[in-house]
Chain A
Amino acid sequence: MKQINCDVAVIGAGGAGLSAAAAAAAQGKKVAVIDREESCGGVLCQCIHNGFGLRYFNEELTGPEYALRMERCARESGAEILLGETVGAVKRNSDSTFEATLYSVANGVSKLNTKAVVFATGCRERTRANIAVPGDRSAGVYTAGSAQKLMNLTGMLPGRRAVIVGSGDIGLIMARRCRWSGIEVAAVVEILPEPSGLPRNIAQCLRDFDIPLLLSHRCARIIGRNRVEAVEIENLITKERFTYQCDTVLFSVGLIPENELLKSMGVAMNPATGGPCVDGSCQCALPGVFAAGNSLHVHDLVDFASIEARRAGMAAAEYASSGKLPEAAAVVACSKTLKYAIPNKCVPGTACEFFFRPTVSCAKAKLTALADGVGIAQKMCVSVRPAEMLAMKAEIPANAAKVQFHLEECK
């Protein structure tokens, strides 16, 4: 059996994993990145559209280009990338190191021993089943991402006329992708009164093509004995129902962080994010275990996932050296106007960057940080929407026990 030893193991070679690996390897650590696919990049490989990298690389790139850049960063820093290897289990040894079991066609079963492990396992798409759409079980029903994979990696078209359910960014991008590939798009159907995707994607993916966006509408039924023939749409305000003829339905109805491996290790999870509870260095409740990217919480932009992962990689390298990180003694909490604040804990006496997902929509809001009731930072946020993450940096006072965040609408 093949035996691999390293200081930091990174699970997942996507936009977060490669960034974590580059950061850890730059600290002189022996780093192994493991991915089950045969190439690096994760979902970036199928995201052939532009819009990536403006924050991380200061340049607008497509997904494959971003992936290549990030792969180069990781390799040049000295990280080793193991492709075609699936991680089946990770367990903590009695000496606080970790053992991962890898499976691959090329090497069979391998064992990997590491001092620290970074989980950058990304997320999965919610499906028709997750939102319980009734009707026929016809062919032609896809998640937006699986249709994207089909079109962009295997060159196949999912159908000829599509209805897209959900106005998340993947759905919007797929609307344009369909149109540029000769597939008609009858409509994009959104259950909420406002779109879930970025405004730029509403503009360049829907308005450019005059694709109707039906807000406060839901997909009530899928019709079609063998192949999809139509969908029944319900206007949630008037309760009126009508059908659209189509042979394809794409669901873009949200993402679920993929954490089966982490959960099997008994790590404390955060129900608000679907990811683990972490401190400011992205360390989970189990020392030496880190998480970053979309498996920690769903990001709007890969750039943010990579920036977060860089922090996780650096902290994992430090943990691999010293076996210990400063105690994150300050607990983080947030008001009801915020769905969550990440991290859940932070180290008093340090600067920490926080990410938030608002629950409210408003033109202008004030985000305030209090340490034990005393204001430590504030920021004005414009066009606040649940679809857009908020970020804020704060200096945590040396003796802080609780950091509380408030988001208040400004009239």
Chain B
Amino acid sequence: MKKMICITCPTGCEMEVLCDGNKITVAGNRCPRGAAYAESEIKDPRRTVTAVIHSANGKFQSVRTNKPLPRPLIPGLLNTILQKVYPEFEPGAVIISDIEGTGVDLIATGPAR
């Protein structure tokens, strides 16, 4: 049995997750998103990544992944994007599409400033 806190919303349900072979049983979640999170956390833990990238003209721009990214890929993504200077993007524009074949995109969240 594994204890975990659901990070899907600010409620933060404390869940008890039981893994029996391929079968995962979740208790303590107040909505279905908790069960989905628990399953993903066991099989393929993912996080939404947010960062600030260098834009042209000495500006900075905030970015995020449009979906949670597998945790093992996070350091590599940060390492790549923090060492480059990018052109300015409109908020919402895709900066990197399909990161490492995961189907996850990096998008701009705010104006360059």
Q: B66-113: which residues lie under 8 A (CB-CB) from chain A? A: 71, 74, 78, 82, 91, 109-111, 113
Across the interface, which residues of A come within 8 angstroms of B9, CB to CB?
A: 54, 200
User: How far does the alpha carbon of A151 sit from the alpha carbon of B5 in the complex, in Å?
Assistant: 28
Knowing A199-B5, A203-B4, say if A180 contacts B49 (CB, 8 Å).
Answer: yes
Let me know if B52 and A155 touch, CB within 8 A: yes
Let me know if B7 and A64 touch, CB within 8 A: no
Please name the residue on chain A nearest to B51 by beta carbon.
A180
Does residue A335 face the partner (Cβ distance < 8 Å to B)? Answer: no
Q: B50-66: which residues lie under 8 A (CB-CB) from chain A? A: 50-52, 54, 60, 62, 64
User: How far does the alpha carbon of A151 sit from the alpha carbon of B82 in the complex, in Å?
Assistant: 12
User: How far does the alpha carbon of A204 sit from the alpha carbon of B48 in the complex, in Å?
Assistant: 10
Let me know if A198 and B78 touch, CB within 8 A: no
Across the interface, which residues of A come within 8 angstroms of B48, CB to CB?
A: 50, 60
Knowing A64-B91, A64-B110, say if A200 contacts B60 (CB, 8 Å).
Answer: no
Across the interface, which residues of A come within 8 angstroms of B113, CB to CB?
A: 39, 45, 153
Knowing A68-B91, A180-B78, say if A62 contacts B50 (CB, 8 Å).
Answer: yes
Does residue A202 face the partner (Cβ distance < 8 Å to B)? Answer: yes
Knowing A48-B109, A180-B49, say if A62 contacts B62 (CB, 8 Å).
Answer: yes
User: How far does the alpha carbon of A219 sit from the alpha carbon of B47 in the complex, in Å?
Assistant: 31
Does residue A136 face the partner (Cβ distance < 8 Å to B)? Answer: no
Q: Which of A49, A60, A155 contacts B54 (CB 8 A)?
A: A155
Q: Which of B10, B52, B78 contacts A48 (CB 8 A)?
A: B52
Q: A292-344: which residues lie under 8 A (CB-CB) from chain B? A: 300-301
Let me know if A154 and B60 touch, CB within 8 A: yes
Let me know if A48 and B12 touch, CB within 8 A: no
Across the interface, which residues of B come within 8 angstroms of A204, CB to CB?
A: 7, 47
Let me know if B52 and A49 touch, CB within 8 A: no
Let me know if A50 and B10 touch, CB within 8 A: no
Does residue A125 face the partner (Cβ distance < 8 Å to B)? Answer: no
Across the interface, which residues of B come within 8 angstroms of A180, CB to CB?
A: 49, 51, 74, 78
Question: What is the CB-to-nearest-CB distance from A45 to chain B, in angstroms, rounded to a whole number?
Answer: 7
Across the interface, which residues of B come within 8 angstroms of A60, CB to CB?
A: 48
Does residue B16 face the partner (Cβ distance < 8 Å to A)? Answer: no
Q: A167-208: which residues lie under 8 A (CB-CB) from chain B? A: 180-182, 198-200, 202-204, 208
Let me know if B5 and A202 touch, CB within 8 A: yes
Q: Which of A152, A181, A301 contacts B62 (CB 8 A)?
A: A152
Q: Which of B10, B78, B111 contacts A300 (CB 8 A)?
A: B10
Let me know if A203 and B51 touch, CB within 8 A: no
Does residue A65 face the partner (Cβ distance < 8 Å to B)? Answer: yes
User: How far does the alpha carbon of A48 sit from the alpha carbon of B60 in the complex, in Å?
Assistant: 12
Does residue A51 face the partner (Cβ distance < 8 Å to B)? Answer: yes
By a beta-carbon cutoff of 8 Å, the part of chain A in contact with chain B is 39, 45, 48-51, 54, 60-62, 64-65, 67-68, 151-155, 180-182, 198-200, 202-204, 208, 300-301, 383
What are 28 A-B pairs at a CB distance below 8 A?
A48-B110, A49-B50, A50-B50, A51-B10, A54-B10, A62-B110, A64-B109, A65-B91, A65-B109, A65-B110, A152-B62, A153-B60, A153-B113, A155-B54, A180-B51, A180-B74, A180-B78, A198-B10, A199-B5, A199-B12, A200-B7, A200-B8, A200-B10, A203-B5, A203-B12, A204-B7, A301-B10, A383-B14
Q: Which 9 A-B pairs have the closest CB atoms?
A: A64-B110, A199-B12, A48-B62, A203-B5, A200-B12, A200-B7, A155-B60, A62-B109, A199-B5
